[in-house]
Amino acid sequence: MDEKNTFRTDFPLIAENTTIYMDNAATSQRPQCVLDAVNDFYLKHNANPLRGTYPLSVEATDLYEEARKSVRDFIGAASSREIIFTRNTTESINLVAYSYGLNNIKSGDEILVSIMEHHSNLLPWQMVARQTGTTLRFLECRPDGSLDLDEVKSLITDKTKLVAITQVSNVLGIVNPIREIAALAHEKGAVIVVDGAQSTPHMPVHVQELDADFFAFSGHKIFGPMGIGVLYGKKKLLKQMPPFLSGGEMIDSVTREGAKYAELPHKFEAGTVNAAGAVGLKAALDYVRSVGYEEMQKRELAVTRRALEGLKQIPHVHVLGSEKAEEHTGILTFTIDDVHPHDVSEILISDGISVRAGHHCAQPLLNYLGVSAATRASFMFYNTEEEADAFVKSIASIRERMGYGK
Ligand code: C6P
């Protein structure tokens, strides 16, 4: 059994609640320090940032820009002007699709996406392909979720203008070789858009080392507030891109006829920003730094291994993706013969366990793997091996409870 997980007390909801929360890939829980940071912003520093010259507004602006610097350092960006605050990963990717995609990709070009993309990193590219007459090509994966780099190489051609790929699959938990794919894309003059929604909560990311042109992630999956997300983009690309949304705060000057846009990053942050969200995100990143990814990964892996090994012992249970716990990033998606994933999830709920069932916003991947729906348990470092055992015990009982034999 694992030693006592003292980190649980940092998270009021799970510390005080007996629910076994295993839907962390959908959204994580928040530590008290994040709740305090958001509360503190509204209690002591609330004013519309980037507008007023009075002290409260200056404080709000300073805190907001401090948060931007914190994100810059956290993901290894060269400049805080390359960090744009959005609402979430979905908005970040849409920003790139509308602003970069529609203006740089034309008929006859190709966009390459992987089969394992979340709909948020697929539909924006379907839109660009439709509007520009571009071909959308798919990179498929092996049954364990891994990609064949020779296939990647053969699919990235002189026609490829953009490669959109997730760093970690939200269904399989597999980690994709982003640095290698970025190198192949750059060899052909294409840009790479990396979806970091599922990687940032679990592993250190350095966008310059990855050589990502764009990198998107959500605050709420990495212990931060909902409604704050990040888009990193290389300055030289962001500079030449038109605004995604227009209106207040993204301008330098406006006449009756037109406007001169603000410098980066404000050109991409129209309207009143989510300053409290950014401040909460900074607190979340500070929290991750204080625990350390190494500690987090050690705990996550122990829980994942225990759950995976347990599931493997149960007849009629099929885990999607790799056989190895270390290739799951805390995500176990599975099917049970003859039992619908929604029934699996309902039975787990009756045992006090929260998981997600359905297509996980990755329908092309599920179709490719030959399943229409699946159940997913996703762990964080605050989950325990006792919880993994309770989960396995519950799964082991499901077919019998549904009226099948053992
Ligand atoms: N996946 C899940 O349960 P937003 O909603 O914009 O914060 O994140 C979208 C998103 C993009 N890419 C990946 C790889 C994701 O996993 C997600 C969100 C959640 O799997 C909710 S569908």
Q: Find the mean pLDDT for residues 88-97.
A: 98
Q: Find the mean pLDDT for residues 77-98.
A: 98
Q: What residues contact residue 365 under an 8 Å CB cut-off, 6+ apart?
A: 115, 116, 117, 169, 171, 172
Residue 309, pLDDT score: 98
Residue 217, pLDDT score: 99
Give the tokens for residue 86.
């959005």
Return d(Cα 165, Cα 160) in angstroms, integer.
14
- pLDDT tier for residue 3 given thresholds of 50, 70 and 90: low
Cα of 117 from ligand 1 centre, angstroms: 10
pLDDT surpassing 90 at residue 16:
no
In this structure, the residues whose C-beta lies within 6 A of any atom of ligand 1 are 25-26, 88-90, 118, 120-121, 166, 170, 195, 197-198, 218, 356, 360-361
Residue 361 annotated as catalytic: yes
- Are the C-beta atoms of 210 and 178 separated by less than 8 Å? yes
Which residue's CA lies nearest to atom 18 of ligand 1? 26
Q: Find the mean pLDDT for residues 171-178.
A: 98
Q: Atom of ligand 1 at shortest distance to CA of 168?
A: 14
Which residue's CA lies nearest to atom 22 of ligand 1? 361
- Are the C-beta atoms of 20 and 353 separated by less than 8 Å? yes
Give 249-256's long-range contacts (Cβ < 8 A, gap of 24+): 249/50, 249/51, 249/273
Q: H or E stretch including 285? A: helix 275-291
pLDDT (tens digit per residue) in 355-403: 999 999 999 999 999 999 999 999 999 999 999 999 999 999 999 999 9
Return d(Cα 57, Cα 34) in angstroms, integer.
21
Which residue's CA lies nearest to atom 8 of ligand 1? 89
Q: What percent of the chain has pLDDT over 70?
A: 99
Cα of 218 from ligand 1 centre, angstroms: 8
Q: Atom of ligand 1 at shortest distance to CA of 229?
A: 7
Q: Atom of ligand 1 at shortest distance to CA of 87?
A: 6
- Are the C-beta atoms of 251 and 262 separated by less than 8 Å? yes
Cα of 26 from ligand 1 centre, angstroms: 6
Return d(Cα 222, Cα 284) in angstroms, integer.
7
pLDDT surpassing 50 at residue 1:
no
pLDDT (tens digit per residue) in 188-226: 999 999 999 999 999 999 999 999 999 999 999 999 999
Residue of 397, 382, 363, 399 whose CA lies nearest to 31: 382
Mean pLDDT across the chain? 97
- pLDDT tier for residue 406 given thresholds of 50, 70 and 90: low
pLDDT (tens digit per residue) in 41-71: 999 999 999 888 999 999 999 999 999 999 9
Return d(Cα 191, Cα 182) in angstroms, integer.
8
Cα of 211 from ligand 1 centre, angstroms: 22
Q: Atom of ligand 1 at shortest distance to CA of 171?
A: 20
Return d(Cα 277, Cα 328) in angstroms, integer.
29
Q: Which of 28, 114, 170 has most ligand 1 atoms within 8 Å of its beta carbon, as the pocket-test mutant?
A: 170
Q: Find the mean pLDDT for residues 9-25.
A: 93
Q: Which of 71, 182, 361, 380 is catalytic?
A: 361
pLDDT surpassing 80 at residue 405:
no
Residue of 217, 285, 383, 228 whose CA lies nearest to 34: 285
| Residues forming a β-bridge with 254 | 259
pTM: 0.98
Classify 335 in phi/psi space as left (phi over 0), alpha (psi -120 to 50) or beta: beta
Give the tokens for residue 141.
């994966």
Cα of 38 from ligand 1 centre, angstroms: 23
Return d(Cα 224, Cα 206) in angstroms, integer.
19
- pLDDT tier for residue 17 given thresholds of 50, 70 and 90: confident
Determine the straight-line distance between the first and last CA of the chain, rounded to whole angstroms.
27
Q: H or E stretch including 136? A: strand 135-139
Q: Which of 22, 90, 165 has most ligand 1 atoms within 8 Å of its beta carbon, as the pocket-test mutant?
A: 90
pLDDT (tens digit per residue) in 246-301: 999 899 999 999 999 999 999 999 999 999 999 999 999 999 999 999 999 999 99
Residue type, 317: V
Residue of 233, 239, 211 whose CA lies nearest to 93: 233
Cα of 319 from ligand 1 centre, angstroms: 20
pLDDT surpassing 50 at residue 158:
yes
Q: By CB neighbour count within 10 A (0-12 exposed, 13-18 middle, 19+ buried), where does 26 fall?
A: middle
Task: Pick the range with the lowest mean pLDDT from 73-77, 162-166, 303-307, 400-404.
Answer: 400-404
